[in-house]
Amino acid sequence: MRSRVSRALVAAFWAAGATLALAEGVAAKPRVVLVLPFQSVTPGETDAWFGEGIAETLYLAAQTNPALLPIDRARVTQAQRAGGSDAPAAPAERLAVTLGRALRADSVFYGEYQRTQEGGVSIVPRLLDPAKGGEGQVLEALVGGADQLSETQADVILVYVKALRLGLKPEETQRMVAAAKPTTNGRAFEAYVKGRRAFLRGGQEGNEGAAELYSRAIEIDPTFAIAHYHLGLAHLALGNRWKASAQFRAAIQVDPSLPEPFKSLGDQFMASPRRLYDQAIEAYQRALNLRPHFAEAQVGLGDAKAAKGDHEGAIGHYQKALAFDPMNARVHFSLGKIYYNEKNLYYEAVAAYKKAIDLDPYFLDARMGLGEIYEEKGLYRDAIVEYRKVIEADPKHTGAHYNLALAYEKVDVKEAIAHWERYIELASQVPAEKEWVDVARQHLKKLREKEKAQ
């Protein structure tokens, strides 16, 4: 019976993939784009936030069109850390090739900019195919005066659209340019970009710094919708769910056409202990009404359907997500949860989690899920390997430290004690972890007593 269920699920999932892209009118393979911060060539400039701002607006613009698939900037940061650097010192082309190949990008957007003496800016975009390597193609330079900074920066996406010969309609390019101008206030934009930099750095300090900077951007420009949205994400990372929800709703109020806040509200409804799955479905659907190619909202919708027991419906949404984003690891992560939690299919779940990790080696939730399956099946050594990989990528990942300590309790008491101590040290600084820290202290006390008795 179990094998028949598995075959039905897998067959339904992959059979849909053969025709869905054509049925939906979606290009079979969108161009996967890595966007890197532009480098300053202005003598004496020490805080090149404007280059990060160019990358941020390129990312926002690229999201609006299904022909481009920008890699999430958090993944880019994680890949840089895995390569041993938070602030890349390598030459631009080498960094573009290395990260582009690691993240399986088809194209890399990067370049340099220079401030003019009059307060304006000169921007030189570059385009690189990481598979070919070598030097990037130098594209058309853009120059703008001090009163045209936001317009000049927003026009960079048009240079890439032209170079890639995407053949977009005028309304599509207009939508991209509009997305690349989230605010026309230079001081608000600077605070927002520095907030993004702090948030991508992560950790308690980074999240708190991001929240402060986003708040400053909103104070300067209350109509800055994307800053409201990212302030919500910062509050969520800090464990302030209600503040996060308020900011998502504020973003919608300021700009009802922005899909990201609806998707994040859907995520919050899914995480609610009250099981607000119908509300989540409505939120995800509203996000998709605004941006039909929003793959993450399709995954969320699939997760909501799965939570309600509609696994075939969930598979349909997961396949739609893959039509727009063939690199979407969350699809396979979600399938892994269905296989294991709902169908008790161990081997299929492991394969799904491994596929997610293959697509995105920095998808730590997938590694955590794989480790938890191993641990539940008594494969403690295998679980330890996965938890250690999570910690290698994120040394302050409290969940991995907690699970690692639990797994070591079964195989090495001394190691378990050391990891409980490390978890308590890290998690004691996070208010949302208080109850788990109390549990950890109980485990630690019992293990120390056990060690003394031996």
Residue 1 pLDDT more than 50? no
SS3 at position 115 = strand
- Average of per-residue pLDDT across 447-453: 84
E strand or H helix at 113, and its extent?
A: strand 107-115
Q: What average pLDDT score do residues 118-147 get?
A: 92
Res. 400 pLDDT band, cuts 50 70 90: very high
Q: What is the DSSP letter of 38?
A: P
- Which amino acid, residue 245? S
Angle CA 72–74–76, to nearest 5: 75
Percentage of the chain surpassing pLDDT 90? 75
Cα–Cα distance, 390 to 387 (Å, whole number) = 5
Contact predicate 31/163, CB 8 Å: no
Distances (CA, A) of 282 to 211, 262, 301, 305: 28, 9, 9, 11
| Spatial CA neighbour of 135 closest among 85, 91, 77, 83 | 91
127 inside domain: yes
Tokens of 186: 């230079």
**Which of 52-66, 69-83, 97-111, 376-390 shows the lowest per-residue confidence on average (mean pLDDT)?**
69-83
How many whole angstroms separate alpha carbon 98 and alpha carbon 214?
31
Averaged pLDDT, 402-407: 96
Does residue 316 register a pLDDT over 70?
yes
Round to whole Å and give the CA distance between 30 and 104: 13
Contact between 135 and 95 under an 8 Å Cβ cutoff? The reply is no
- pLDDT tier, 134 (very low <50, low <70, confident <90, very high otherwise): confident
Kindly tell me if the per-residue pLDDT of 18 is higher than 50: no
* Angstrom distance (rounded) from CA 303 to CA 317: 9
193-220: pLDDT as tens digits: 999 999 999 888 999 999 999 999 999 9
> What average pLDDT does the structure give for the chain?
90
Look at residue 78 in the predicted model and tell me its pLDDT.
83
CA distances from 302 to 116, 164, 271, 327 (A): 50, 33, 14, 17
Q: What is the pLDDT of residue 84?
A: 58
Q: Between 301 and 7, name the one with better pLDDT.
A: 301
C-beta separation of 153 from 145 below 8 A: no
Does 299 map to a domain? Answer: no
> Is residue 134 domain-resident?
yes
Residue 375 CB coordination number (10 Å): 20
Q: Where does residue 151 rank: exposed (0-12), middle (13-18), buried (19+ CB within 10 A)?
A: middle
Pairing state between β 107-115 and 68-70: unpaired
Domain that holds residue 155: 29-181
Residue that has been written with the tokens 């009404």 in this structure: 289
Would you state the pLDDT for residue 135?
84
**In the chain, pLDDT over 70 holds for what percent of residues?**
92
The CATH number of whichever domain residue 39 belongs to comes to: 3.40.50.10070
pLDDT above 80: residue 91 = no
Query: Does residue 292 sit within a domain?
Result: no
Per-residue confidence band for 361, with pLDDT thresholds at 50, 70 and 90: confident
- CA 76 – CA 87 distance, rounded (Å): 12
CA distance 191 to 205: 16
pLDDT in tens, 43-58: 777 778 999 999 999 9
Residue 450: pLDDT over 90? no
Residue 161 maps to a domain: yes
Kindly state whether residue 277 falls inside one of the protein's structural domains. Answer: no
Confidence of residue 83 (pLDDT cuts 50, 70, 90): low
pLDDT tens across 112-132, in order? 999 888 888 999 999 999 999
pLDDT tens digits for 212-245?
A: 999 999 999 999 999 999 999 999 999 899 999 9
Q: Return d(Cα 195, Cα 228) in angstroms, integer.
A: 12
The pLDDT of 261-277, averaged and rounded, is: 95
Residue 242 within any structural domain of the chain? no
Cα-based torsion angle of the residue sequence 172, 49, 363, 250 in order, rounded to the nearest 10 degrees = -60
Question: With contact defined as beta carbons under 8 Å apart, do 180 and 61 qualify?
Answer: yes
Count up the domains in the chain and report the number: 1
The candidate with the shortest Cα–Cα distance to 179, out of 103, 231, 255, is 255
pLDDT reported for residue 8: 52
SS3 state at 41:
coil
Q: What is the average per-residue pLDDT within 347-354?
A: 95
DSSP 309: T
In a domain, 175, yes or no: yes
Which H, E and C letters describe 312-371, residue by residue?
HHHHHHHHHHHHHCCCCHHHHHHHHHHHHHHCCCHHHHHHHHHHHHHHCCCCHHHHHHHH
The 10 Å CB-count burial string (b at 16+, else e) for 250-267 is bbbebbeebbbbbbbbbb
